[in-house]
Structure 1
Amino acid sequence: MEELSVGKFQWLIEELIRVGIKMGLALVIIIAGFWIGSKIKGIIRRRMIARDVEPSIREFIIPIIDVIFKLLVILTAINTVGVQITSFAAIMAGLAAGVGLSLQGSLSNFAGGLLIILFKPFKVGDYIEALGHGGTIEAISILYTTITTVNQQVVILPNSSLLNNPVMNYSIKPNRRLDIKIGISYSDDLEKAQKVLKEMLENEPLVLKEQPVTVEVLEFGDSSINLAVRAFTKREDYWDAYFKLYKKTKMILDDNGISIPFPQTEMRIVQPNDDFTK
C-alpha cells in the first residue's frame, strides 16, 4: 500500500513537471510570438509608408494583420499544451456565433470600414461634414473613423453610420466657392454696388481668375436688396479668403457711400386718452 502511494506521488510529480514544461513552453511561444508580431507589424508599416500606401488603407489593414498573427500564436501555444486545435476550433466557433449575435453593431461597423476603404468616399486628411460634425479625418480604423474638428476636439464616428448617411467631403475638389450674402439699401445705387464688389473680387489675389465671379441680386428682403457675391478660391485658401473678403466688402461699401441696412422696429406708446382717428 505504501509503495502504491509513493508511486502515485511520483506519477503526480512527473505529470506536474510535464504540464509545467508545456505551460512554460506555451508562455514562451506567446511572448516570443507577440514580440515577433510587433516587429513584423513595424516592418509592414514602414514598407507601406515607403511605397506611399494611403494612410487610411494602412491604418485599416495593419490592425487586422496584427489580430490574425496573434490568433495564430495563441492557437500554436494551445496546441503545445496538448489541447487539440480541432476541438478548440469547434468551441471557438460556437462562442463566435454567440458573440457575433451580441456584436452585430460592431460587425456592421467592420463591414462599413471595409467598404469605406474599398470605395474611398473619403480618406485620411480629408475635411468632411457628417452626422452633425465637421473636421479633418485623422484615422479610419476597423470599427470607427476619428476626426478632429477646427477647435481641436476629437470625434469618433461609427463606420456603419458614416456609410449609411450623407457625408459632405470638401477635399475631393481642388477649388471651393465662396458665397457672401450682403444687403444694400433700396435707395442706394444698385449698379454701382455691383461694380465695386465685382472689382473687389477681380483684384483679390486669393480669388481664382480662371473661374467666374458673380455679383447679382439674390432677393428682395424686408429692408434691403440682398446681393449674392460669389467667387472661387483654392481649397486651402478658403478660410483666409472668407475672412478677408467679408471685411473688404464692408470697407468698400462704406468707402463708396453704400449702406448696409438692418431691420428696425418702430414702437409707439399709446396713452388711454389718445384719439386713434387722428
Structure 2
Amino acid sequence: MQEQDQVDSLQDVITTPFKDLEYLTNILVTKGSEIGWSLVSALLTLTIGLWLAGKLKKLIEKRMIARNVDLSIRTFLIPIINIILKMMVIVFVVSRLGLDASGFIAALGGAGLAIGLALQGSLSNFAAGILIILFKPFKVGDYIVSQGNEGSVESISILNTVIVTAKGQVVTLPNANLFNNPIINYSIKEYRRLDINMGISYDDDFENAQKVLLEVLEKNELVDDTQPKTVEILEFAASSVNLAVRCYVKNSDYWTAYWQLYRAVKKALDENNISMPYPHTEMIIKNENSTTIPFDNKD
C-alpha cells in the first residue's frame, strides 16, 4: 500500500507540470485569438473610419461651396472639422479594443491642456483666427496692407494668414499680429481713388494744363464718370508747381488704369508743350573783384 502511494505521488510530480503547461497553452490560444481578433477589428475600424471621415469632410466642404459659404470660413473650418472627425474615429477604436474610452478622453484633455499652456502664442493666434472669421476685417482675395506687408490674401488658417505680394512673394503673418494691428483693406469698397502727383513749370498756364489733364481723365474708359475728377494745385515746390490729379476707378482695374493714365498724361503734356521740370542747381562763381559770373558748362 505504501509502495502504491509512492508511485501515485511520483506520477503526480511528473504529470502536474504538463497539466499546468496545457492549461497555460489553452489560455494563450483562447486569449491570443481574442486579442488578435480585437487588433484586426481595431485596424479595420481605424481604416474604414478614417476613410469615412475623409469622405464626410469632402461632403461638408461641397455643401459649404453649394451654399456659397465664404472662402475664408471654409479654409478656416475644414481643417478643424477634419481633426475632430479623426479624433472621433480614434476614440471609437480605443473603445473597440476594450479600453476605457473615458479615461483616454480625460488623458487626451490633460495632454491638450499641457500643450496649450506650452503654446500660448499659438492659442492667441487661434483665437485671433476665429475673431478674423467672425468680424471679417478682410477675407480671402482682399488686397491688404499690414505691418509693412501688402498683398492679396491667399488663405486664412487656424494660426496664420498667407498673403501674396505684387512681386509674387508669399508672406505668412500670425493671426494675432494681424488682428491686433491696423489693417488697410483696399478691397472692401468697389472703387479706389487713383492719385497722380506731377509738376508743371512756373511759366506754364495752369488753366490750360488743368483743361488738358481733365480731358485725359474724361477719355479713359476705366475712370468712373459718376465720381469727381480733380486737377488742382497741390503745392508750390522749388522748381515746379505740383498738381494733384485725382479720379476713381474700380479695384479690379486699378493697376491697368494707373499705367494707362500715367502714359496718357505724359503724352498729352508733350503734345501741348507743357513742360514737366526736374530739379536743377544754378552755380555762380565770384572772381577776385567780387563780380558774379554765371558758370556755363560747355562740355
CA distance in 2, matches of 1:7, 1:154: 68
Measure how far apart 1:103 and its partner are.
Answer: 1.3
CA distance in 2, matches of 1:30, 1:259: 77
Measure how far apart 1:145 and its partner are.
Answer: 1.7
Which shows bigger deviation, 80-89 or 225-234?
80-89
Measure how far apart 1:149 and its partner are.
Answer: 2.2
Q: Which residue of 2 aligns with 1:164?
A: 180
3-state DSSP of counterpart to 2:273: coil
Measure how far apart 1:153 and its partner are.
Answer: 2.5
Task: Describe how 1:1-278 pairs up with structure 2 within 5 A.
Answer: 1-266=17-282, 275=288, 277-278=290-291
CA shift digits 1:174-209 (9 cap, x unpaired): 101100000111122122111211222122221111
CA distance in 2, matches of 1:253, 1:197: 8
Measure how far apart 1:52 and its partner are.
Answer: 1.2
CA distance in 2, matches of 1:64, 1:225: 58
CA shift digits 1:71-120 (9 cap, x unpaired): 01101111111221222222222211210111112211111111111111
3-state DSSP of counterpart to 2:155: strand
- Which structure is higher in RCO with an 8 Å CA cutoff and minimum separation 6? 1
CA distance in 2, matches of 1:23, 1:277: 107
Q: Which structure: larger Rg?
A: 2
3-state DSSP of counterpart to 1:210: coil
| Structure 2: gaps spanning 5 or more residues | 1-16, 292-299
CA distance in 1, matches of 2:39, 2:283: 89
CA distance in 1, matches of 2:54, 2:289: 89
Asked if 1 retains the 8 angstrom alpha-carbon contact of 2:91 and 2:105, the reply is no
3-state DSSP of counterpart to 2:195: strand
Letter in 1 for 2:142: D
| Structure 1: gaps spanning 5 or more residues | none
CA distance in 1, matches of 2:202, 2:131: 54
Give % identity.
Answer: 51
Letter in 2 for 1:275: E
Distance change in 2, residues 1:255/1:106 (3 Å): same
Say what the alpha-carbon RMSD is for the aligned residues: 1.8
3-state DSSP of counterpart to 1:172: coil
**Structure 1 segments of 4+ aligned residues over 6 angstroms from their partners:** none
The total of aligned residue pairs comes to 275
